[in-house]
Structure 1
Amino acid sequence: MNIGLDMMGGDLAPLEAVKGVLQYLNEDSSASVLFLIGDQPKVEQLLDEHKVSRERIQVIHSEQVIDMHEHPTKALKEKQRSSIAIGFHLLATGKIDSFISAGNTGAMLVGALFSIKALEGVLRPTISTIIPRENGNTGLLLDVGLNADCKPEQLNQFAIMGSVYAQLMLDISNPRVGLMNVGEEEGKGNLLAQATYPLLKENKHINFIGNIEGRDVLEDKADVMVCEGFTGNIILKLAESLYEITHRQKIEHEYFERFNFENYGGTPVLGVSKPVIIGHGISKAKAFKNMIKVAQQMIEKDVLGKMKEELK
């Protein structure tokens, strides 16, 4: 398999990206090849400095970089020689099987939607996040920001895609799906929640357990938690703050360490035809290594292919 990595995306690139590649190669013995897309002289100098073997590496030169605050659509159109634009071209033409970047999130989402397209029947792709549970398990929350406003039919599809991801990537055999709401009883919530509930209840492709509340997010009540991106992003940022606060207060506890985003690498765009992984802008080596691992696992387990089957 061929995995493409944007070496220029992120505040700490390309140095931390190179360190992440080294960690990945040291831990992984598969035959996968990494296509490193970026400023070739800079990337190759860092590869030499860190004694990274070139056996499973190809460096693809890019002359431009899409900065974090550039307009995504305009930047992709005007910067055809940027690392992100080249990455999506390689993905769309089959030269690579997945693409990873910790760069401009908007550009990654636009590229995913317009370069490789959504899976057949998908109304809107989604992004998710891993939520650590106190008992050691993990949950999946989606959407966490891609779709601030949603229709009930979209949340219904998110539940299917989240269930497939939980089964294949989190090893949960029969994931419990819960609808984020302000109460447990059927009929609670705003118009979106009230209209979504019956769709989830009738959906034979998921194990729907009903409504869940904010207090259930960190508890082991539902494996897949579904909501629109506005609510999901607020929950995500609140969860991220737990890790930041415990570090500032020098509180050491293994549970709070699990909120470190680098443990999970990045978030895949679910509902597009090929794996696209989006990383945090401040990703360090560990995050880059884990993003590559996520991409590899998604390819090996044909996650998007399974989603396509369930969505039919």
Structure 2
Amino acid sequence: MKLGLDISGGDFAPRANVLGAILALEQLPDDVELVLIGRENDITSILEEKGVKSDRISVVDAPDVITMEDHPTRAIPQKPNSSISVGFELLSQNKIDSFASTGNTGAMLVGSMYKVNAIPGVIRPCITSVLPTVNGGDSIILDVGANADCKPDVLYQFASLGSLYAKNVMNISDPRIGLLNIGEEEGKGNLLTQSAYKLMKESKDFNFIGNIEGRDLFTGKADVVVCDGFTGNVVLKQAEGMYTITRQLGIKDDYLERFNYENYGGTPILGVNSDVIIGHGISNDVAVKGMLCLAYDVAKSELTQKIKEAFK
């Protein structure tokens, strides 16, 4: 298995990404190879500094960089020699099994849609985030930013995608799907959630348990929480903000520490033809290691193939 990593993306590139790859190499199985994509001189100098020589690491030179300020739609065609563009080219040619980056999220989404394409039948690919639950487990929420405006059939597909992810990557045999709403009753919510509820309650594609409220997000009431990307991103940023505040206040708690982004590394883009993993822009080496380990778990589970089969 070959995992591609964008070395030039993120706030602490290239060093954090190379160091994260070194950490991941120690944890991943021996048959996993890492393909480091970025400015070759930068990558090799850090590897030499750390005394790392391994036939499980290869370097692909990509001299250009797509920055956070670059327009996502224009960046890939305007910078074909960038690490993100080269990474997607390798992915589309099956020269790597997955591609991970902590760089420009918009460019990663655009590359996924136009370089490897959406799986036939998927209306809109989406991204997820982990919700640590008080019982020690994890739930996921989707979408968290790729699709700010959604229609009911899109939310229905998010439920299907989330259920497949929970089954195959999180190893939950019969994931409970909840629709995030302002009340538990069927008639609550706006036109979107009311219509989505009607579609989802009749589904045989997943285990729909009904509406859940914001207070239920971290209780484990649902394994998969479905919402539009605008709402999901607000939830995600609120959770990140509360974690930051607890750290600033000096509050130490094992449960609250599970909100540290370093624990999760990244999230896959669900619904595209290849495995694409997006990491947080502020990722350090530990988070990059986690992102690569997630990339391995997703590839090993054959999640993309199982989504293709489900959406035939």
TM-aligned CA deviation for residue 53 of structure 1: 2.8
1:294 is matched with which residue?
294
1:45 is matched with which residue?
45
5+ residue gaps, structure 2: none
Where do residues 261-280 of structure 1 align in structure 2 (5 Å cutoff)? 261-280=261-280
Counterpart residue identity of residue 53, structure 2:
S
TM-aligned CA deviation for residue 52 of structure 1: 2.0
1:205 is matched with which residue?
205
For residues 35 and 166 of structure 2, the distance between their equivalents in structure 1, rounded to whole angstroms, comes to 28
For residues 305 and 99 of structure 2, the distance between their equivalents in structure 1, rounded to whole angstroms, comes to 17
For residues 29 and 35 of structure 1, the distance between their equivalents in structure 2, rounded to whole angstroms, comes to 15
TM-aligned CA deviation for residue 67 of structure 1: 0.7
Counterpart residue identity of residue 286, structure 1:
V
Where do residues 98-177 of structure 1 align in structure 2 (5 Å cutoff)? 98-177=98-177
Where do residues 73-88 of structure 1 align in structure 2 (5 Å cutoff)? 73-88=73-88
Aligned residues: 312
Query: SS at 2:135's partner residue?
Result: coil
For residues 267 and 239 of structure 1, the distance between their equivalents in structure 2, rounded to whole angstroms, comes to 16
CA contact (8 A) 1:40 1:60 kept: yes
For residues 74 and 220 of structure 2, the distance between their equivalents in structure 1, rounded to whole angstroms, comes to 43
For residues 197 and 279 of structure 1, the distance between their equivalents in structure 2, rounded to whole angstroms, comes to 31
TM-aligned CA deviation for residue 170 of structure 1: 1.4
For residues 150 and 305 of structure 2, the distance between their equivalents in structure 1, rounded to whole angstroms, comes to 24
TM-aligned CA deviation for residue 119 of structure 1: 0.7
With normalisation by structure 2, the TM-score equals: 0.98
1:189 is matched with which residue?
189
TM-aligned CA deviation for residue 68 of structure 1: 0.6
For residues 305 and 143 of structure 2, the distance between their equivalents in structure 1, rounded to whole angstroms, comes to 20
TM-aligned CA deviation for residue 198 of structure 1: 1.4
- The percentage of counterpart residues that share the same residue type is 52
TM-aligned CA deviation for residue 293 of structure 1: 0.9
1:305 is matched with which residue?
305
Query: SS at 1:19's partner residue?
Result: helix
For residues 156 and 53 of structure 1, the distance between their equivalents in structure 2, rounded to whole angstroms, comes to 48
Counterpart residue identity of residue 269, structure 1:
I
CA contact (8 A) 1:242 1:256 kept: no
TM-aligned CA deviation for residue 205 of structure 1: 1.2
TM-aligned CA deviation for residue 72 of structure 1: 1.0
CA contact (8 A) 1:125 1:269 kept: yes
**1:132-181 CA distances to partner (integer Å, 9 max, x unpaired)?**
01110110100001000001001001001101111111121111000011
Counterpart residue identity of residue 13, structure 1:
A
Counterpart residue identity of residue 172, structure 2:
I
Pair 1:239-2:208 in alignment: no
For residues 238 and 193 of structure 1, the distance between their equivalents in structure 2, rounded to whole angstroms, comes to 21
For residues 18 and 84 of structure 1, the distance between their equivalents in structure 2, rounded to whole angstroms, comes to 16
Counterpart residue identity of residue 228, structure 2:
E
Query: SS at 1:273's partner residue?
Result: coil
**1:8-53 CA distances to partner (integer Å, 9 max, x unpaired)?**
1001011111111111111223311111001101110001111223
5+ residue gaps, structure 1: none
Pair 1:54-2:61 in alignment: no
For residues 140 and 222 of structure 1, the distance between their equivalents in structure 2, rounded to whole angstroms, comes to 9
Query: SS at 1:186's partner residue?
Result: coil
For residues 114 and 12 of structure 2, the distance between their equivalents in structure 1, rounded to whole angstroms, comes to 27
For residues 53 and 143 of structure 1, the distance between their equivalents in structure 2, rounded to whole angstroms, comes to 40
Dislocated runs of 4+, deviation >3 Å: none
**1:215-238 CA distances to partner (integer Å, 9 max, x unpaired)?**
111111111000000110000001
For residues 62 and 220 of structure 1, the distance between their equivalents in structure 2, rounded to whole angstroms, comes to 43
**C-alpha RMSD over aligned residues:** 0.9
For residues 288 and 57 of structure 1, the distance between their equivalents in structure 2, rounded to whole angstroms, comes to 15
For residues 63 and 145 of structure 1, the distance between their equivalents in structure 2, rounded to whole angstroms, comes to 29
Counterpart residue identity of residue 115, structure 1:
K
Q: Which shifted more, 128-137 or 241-250?
A: 241-250
For residues 53 and 219 of structure 1, the distance between their equivalents in structure 2, rounded to whole angstroms, comes to 46
Query: SS at 1:30's partner residue?
Result: coil
